[in-house]
Chain A
Amino acid sequence: MTRNQIRITLLSGFALVAALIASRPVAAQDAKQPYPNRAPIEQYLMDRDAEIALARSAAPDSSSRDAEVLVLGRHGFETAVKGKNGFVCTVERSWTSAPDSDFWNPKVRVPEFLNAAAARSYLRRNLKRTDLILAGRTKAQVDEAIVAAVDKKELPAMEPGAMCYMMSKQGYGGDSVAPWPSHLMFYFSQTDPGTWGADLPGSPIFGMSDTREHLTEFVIAVQRWSDGTEAR
């Protein structure tokens, strides 16, 4: 299972709508491949100030105001605001954060607020993936390159305590994804999701492993959006 498949599985798990998603009519183009190719780069880019604000909305202002903010440029993510607290805010795009059917969906915007441990480990994979995508590599080529870099330890293992906030009201995960709840994510080098009791009936924790990338992600829904309003 790829990381993007993991993400849709996790997000679907929240709302228990996996079956609905599978049968949901797709409005645009071929139902199986609504976005078969990369769109012009401009469609993935955002106004710089709007992207900074969206990135920061991933976490409460008390945390994100002192974080480094990355914004997407034509060749990859670049620092727009230097931070003070070790946290990093970004707005992920479809090629790191959407299911396969939305892999090239230019509307996808996924704000994340990563703690220092995640910024040093998990984020580096997304930055490399983005660099390769924008350099014109195919999805398959990028997947292979990331797996190879992980195996060669050019990309680091997950650090202990790596986690991120995804509490923005404004995120968009793709046409095939139900709106997700405000949540936290935790990253581990590959481990058994059962060690956290994930995915068992009644468990508040969802988890999934990507064996190729040796990555396990856990998701826990929280009660409020980053602005303090109720999320349920």
Chain B
Amino acid sequence: MASELTITVNGKQHRVEATSDTPLLYVLRNELGLNSPQFGCGSETCGACTVLLGAKAVKSCKLPVSEAAVGAITTLEGLSTAEELHPVQRAFIEEQATQCGYCGNGMIMTTAALLSKNPHPTDEQIRQALDDNLCRCGAHLRIIRAVKRAAELFEKEGA
């Protein structure tokens, strides 16, 4: 039975067909056809499914879609515009900050949330902020460098 919910994703409103207890992840992937939030664990422990709810990074694999309907949702697809990549995306490409890339969505979204709150994080703060995002390939050090580069890009461009 349709939930009659509406969610706002990347600036657009969408009518949700899934029941209201369906985790947001499945609505984003299967109803909206988005690719970036990935299924990793279903228990909010790996971070592959991270999206922004308002300015906050949240895991979407358990969060009922009804609870996500309260704010604006941004996915990785919504960070960039057709003309320009978001500084965090550019920094991740410049630092070649991944191996397989499956965790990349969560890393980038968590970084975007971190830098919006703390534009000059220390190494320690970066590690802390990303500690609940798992990477199995071992790209951690590149990711830390990418976060720092993103912070520099923000500063340089006054973003």
- A pairs with B: no
Q: Which residues of B contact A (CB under 8 A)?
A: none
